[in-house]
Amino acid sequence: MARPRIKDVARHAGVSEKTVSNVINDYAHVSDRTRQVVREAIEHLGYRVNLAGRHLRRGRTGIIALVVPELDIPYFAELARHVVRAAEERSLTVLIHQSGADRAHELAALAGFGSTFVDGIILSPLALTADDLRDRAGFPPTVLLGELLEEGADHVAIDNEGAAREATRHLIGLGRRTILAVGGRDDAGLGTAQARTRGYRAALSEAGIAYDPAALLPVGSFRMPDGAQAVARALAAGARPDALLCLNDQLALGALRALHEHGVKVPEDVAVIGFDDVEGGRFSVPTLSTVAPDKAAVARVAVQLLQHRIEEATAPDGAESEAQAPQDLVVDHRLVLRESTEGSGRH
Amino acid sequence: MARPRIKDVARHAGVSEKTVSNVINDYAHVSDRTRQVVREAIEHLGYRVNLAGRHLRRGRTGIIALVVPELDIPYFAELARHVVRAAEERSLTVLIHQSGADRAHELAALAGFGSTFVDGIILSPLALTADDLRDRAGFPPTVLLGELLEEGADHVAIDNEGAAREATRHLIGLGRRTILAVGGRDDAGLGTAQARTRGYRAALSEAGIAYDPAALLPVGSFRMPDGAQAVARALAAGARPDALLCLNDQLALGALRALHEHGVKVPEDVAVIGFDDVEGGRFSVPTLSTVAPDKAAVARVAVQLLQHRIEEATAPDGAESEAQAPQDLVVDHRLVLRESTEGSGRH
DNA sequence: CAGCCCATGTACATCGATGTAAAAACTAGC
DNA sequence: GCTAGTTTTTACATCGATGTACATGGGCTG
């Protein structure tokens, strides 16, 4: 009653194991009659290939890992959905791994279990540093999502700096002058937050608005409670912004709540804009303006690039030196305007 | 430069392959000196075990699959997070699979790739029927989340009927009498929606309120747009409810939006309550009352039960008949009251 | 009808790690 | 110093599928 093996199918069909294997893998030179007999035996016994054996023999699993900081941050969940879909189209299965925004976990995913098990990794790093990524020997092919952490790594992202600049310009165009950046950071890091902050500063500078480092509201993580807390604290400290550039939609949704609790009207008193275009922002009160990355494209491009790298890596050794230069792909985004930035100023 | 094998480590350390394997697997009878030498060789060569080989030999992967309808429904994302965490504590890796609420996909996950690859499956079925689950021969051990679809399958859930009864009672206690059930279904199905609808009807009946089948607002799926649309349509059709029991928080958040757009005040005119306690409901305007399942417990219990079943299934055949009866585990929930049901009626 | 060719099918080795069984190396006891 | 009893280590077979290299047989040509 144990699960049948290829051997059992072969015996049942009266052919060799290899012939069964040939049928399974659509090898060309199998007569129709043999194919038929084997198919029936497979059907009859309920045979299904054992991936352990195939993996051992072939050296590939057809599985790629997607490593994200937290699945319950909607942006990552939505991204995961797209990645799963894009992978499916290429006959790849996705193993989703949650790093907890923790450097050790991210490293473990890269170097540990994953490397011997998955053909490649799509990594959305939050805590990793460029140094961690430098020594990629022994890692499987990897594509990074988000800002470029390390020259020499493939990565896919939107133009974060440009997007933040556009969003900030839009706020300025509405007549807003005191714009806080929730989640902003102007340290030297290479992350997404820093890129968006650069765009924010660039827009201020273009418009001749003085930059005040206190306008960057630091957050512990990029979730609603952090956004609410940061804004509540700023208001309590006497800040009187007329706009908020929130570095993601979760922060923005938390900010909307905090503003509501303080009796501040959005967009009349304060305009709010976020990043990511998550579903929650399309139904919040008020609905949330946001920078919408083309998530489907991010996923599609990342999977495609990764598959390419995997094939490259498994190619006959002769072509080993053919490895292409790391790619640095930029995906479209657009500004989606909703109620939280409606109208053209106070009235 | 290829990845080192156990053979290479053995040669380097001057011992047999099996000894290296013994060291890797913490086999007891290895002298300290040998262990030391082998460890150094492993370190030196950067060896890491190849899971394909191990899997083939051991017959287990240490991987379990979590199959959910849609990852970007926050409840499932939050659940996934807890499952990943619970699995980690038991040295299991989770492969997350998205079924798209599609029967074919759910079946494929059960019968297809998964079964030869993962040790077990945690499945949150939406579209599967009891029939699909009946013939589980050949499936790996499986634990279902949500309502019991099929006698004889392990499953973990909250008391959906009881929870819906409590929630509805609470609305009635607020003096509400015209309560719509968004997403409700009173067909004979065994799903979660039907169980919650039964609870809703039970509470109405207790209070002597007549049940009107038109109070069940059907939805295409359990997401915000569906909730918004269903409520908008009902209002347009002349419904004048004073409360909504939404079968999950996404529907409720969509409903809040629709009510807002129609100028209906929550909770003054209409009280709203949802299910799942997702983060979005803690920051919405108004904040959302909800039935909060103990998600961490659901995950913990499901993983534990699954691991138990896996061990049972891999046990020496002698004990094969020992398989325990299917378990039917109920996890705690509680009613969390927030702004959307505040106060005691109209004023 | 002999001779070739090619489409089909087969035997065997192999991927990497680990269980089994037995050999080798120790230890202790007399 | 030798034996019995343990520890430690090893050689070998094995898990399941598939690539390689070769055998087979039917069909076609001349």
Instruction: Sketch out chain A's domains with CATH numbers.
Output: 6-49 (1.10.260.40), 61-158+295-333 (3.40.50.2300), 160-292+335-341 (3.40.50.2300)
Q: Which amino acid is at A245?
A: L
DSSP bridge pairs for B97: B67
The whole-number pLDDT of residue A302 equals 97
Burial B134-145 (b: 16+ CB within 10 A, else e): eeeeeebbbbbb
The mean pLDDT value for B53-71 works out to 87
Query: Is residue B176 predicted with pLDDT exceeding 60?
Result: yes
The whole-number pLDDT of residue B344 equals 45
Distance CA A10, CA B116 (A): 19
- Which of A98-112, B39-53, B189-203, B215-229 has the least mean pLDDT? A98-112
The whole-number pLDDT of residue B343 equals 65
Task: Name the band, by pLDDT with cuts 50, 70 and 90, for residue B147.
Answer: confident
Helix (H) or strand (E) holding B21: helix B17-24
Residues of B in contact with A81 (CB under 8 A): 70-72, 98
Residues 6+ apart with CB under 8 A from B53: A56
DSSP structure class, residue B46 = T
Between CA A2 and C1' D16 the distance (Å) reads 14
Q: Is B29 within 7 A of strand D by CB distance?
A: yes
Rg (CA), chain B: 26
The mean pLDDT value for B131-147 works out to 75
The whole-number pLDDT of residue A135 equals 61
Q: Which of B94, B130, B119, B123 is nearest to B109 (CA)?
A: B123
- Which of A102-111, B161-170, B309-318 has the least mean pLDDT? A102-111
Contact: B280, A224; criterion CB under 8 Å: yes
- Mean pLDDT across chain B: 88
Contact: B115, A48; criterion CB under 8 Å: yes
Please provide the size of chain A in residues: 347
The residues of A between 47 and 76 with beta carbon within 7 Å of nucleic strand D are 49-50, 52-54, 56-58
The mean pLDDT value for B126-145 works out to 71
Structure tokens at B30: 């290895």
Protein-proximal nucleotides of chain D (any atom < 7 Å from a CB): 7-12, 14-20
Give the residues of chain A that fall short of pLDDT 70.
1, 101-116, 126-138, 149-150, 314-323, 343-347
What is the three-state SS of chain A?
CCCCCHHHHHHHHCCCHHHHHHHHCCCCCCCHHHHHHHHHHHHHHCCCCCHHHHHHHHCCCCEEEEEECCCCCHHHHHHHHHHHHHHHHCCCEEEEEECCCCHHHHHHHHHCHHHHHCCEEEECCCCCCHHHHHCCCCCCCEEEECCCCCCCCEEEEECHHHHHHHHHHHHHHCCCCCEEEECCCCCCCCCHHHHHHHHHHHHHHHCCCCCCHHHEECCCCCCHHHHHHHHHHHHHCCCCCCEEEECCHHHHHHHHHHHHHCCCCCCCCCEEEEECCCCHHHHCCCCCEEEEECHHHHHHHHHHHHHHHHHHHHCCHHHHHHCCCCCEEEECEEEECCHHHCCCCCC
**Residue A208 C-beta-side C-alpha neighbours within 13 Å:** 0
The whole-number pLDDT of residue B311 equals 82
Q: Is B53 within 7 A of strand C by CB distance?
A: yes
Structure tokens at B300: 């913990």
Using CB atoms within 10 A of its CB, is residue B210 exposed (0-12), middle (13-18) or buried (19+)? exposed
Would you tell me the crossing angle of helices A32-45 and A17-24 to the nearest 10 degrees?
Answer: 90
The whole-number pLDDT of residue B183 equals 96
Distance CA B98, CA B202 (A): 34
Residues 6+ apart with CB under 8 A from A277: A249, A290, A291, A292, A293, A295, A336
Residues of B in contact with A74 (CB under 8 A): 72, 74, 77
The whole-number pLDDT of residue A312 equals 81
Residues 6+ apart with CB under 8 A from A46: A4, B137, B138
Protein-proximal nucleotides of chain C (any atom < 7 Å from a CB): 7-12, 14-20
Distance CA B214, CA B196 (A): 16
Q: In what order do the strands lie in the sheet with B328-331?
A: B93-98, B63-68, B120-123, B142-145, B154-158, B328-331
Contact: B77, A74; criterion CB under 8 Å: yes
Distance CA B288, CA B157 (A): 22
Contact: A113, B95; criterion CB under 8 Å: no
Pick B340 or A36 by higher pLDDT.
Answer: B340
Using CB atoms within 10 A of its CB, is residue B346 exposed (0-12), middle (13-18) or buried (19+)? middle
The whole-number pLDDT of residue B251 equals 97
Q: Where are the beta strands (DSSP E) in chain B?
A: 63-68, 93-98, 120-123, 142-145, 154-158, 179-182, 216-217, 243-246, 271-275, 289-293, 328-331, 333-336
The whole-number pLDDT of residue B55 equals 87
The mean pLDDT value for B104-110 works out to 65
Residues 6+ apart with CB under 8 A from B247: B181, B182, B183, B184, B192, B193, B196, B197, B222, B274, B275
Q: Is A16 within 7 A of strand C by CB distance?
A: yes
Between CA A57 and C1' C19 the distance (Å) reads 21
Please provide the size of chain B in residues: 347
Q: Is B58 within 7 A of strand C by CB distance?
A: yes
DSSP structure class, residue B140 = P
Q: Which amino acid is at B117?
A: F
The residues of B between 35 and 74 with beta carbon within 7 Å of nucleic strand D are 53, 56-57, 59
Task: Name the band, by pLDDT with cuts 50, 70 and 90, for residue B320.
Answer: very low
Q: In what order do the strands lie in the sheet with A328-331?
A: A93-98, A63-68, A120-123, A142-145, A154-158, A328-331
Query: Is residue B105 predicted with pLDDT exceeding 80?
Result: no
At which residue do the structure tokens 């040669």 appear? B11
Task: Pick out the nucleotide with least CA–C1' distance to A3.
Answer: D16
The whole-number pLDDT of residue A292 equals 98
The whole-number pLDDT of residue A115 equals 56
Contact A45, A101 (CB under 8 A): no
**CA atoms A218, A219, A225, A227: torsion sign:** positive
Q: Is A28 within 7 A of strand D by CB distance?
A: no
Would you tell me the crossing angle of helices B224-236 and B249-261 to the nearest 10 degrees?
Answer: 40
Distance CA B158, CA B174 (A): 24
Question: How far is C-alpha B321 from the geometric centre of its chain's CA atoms?
Answer: 29
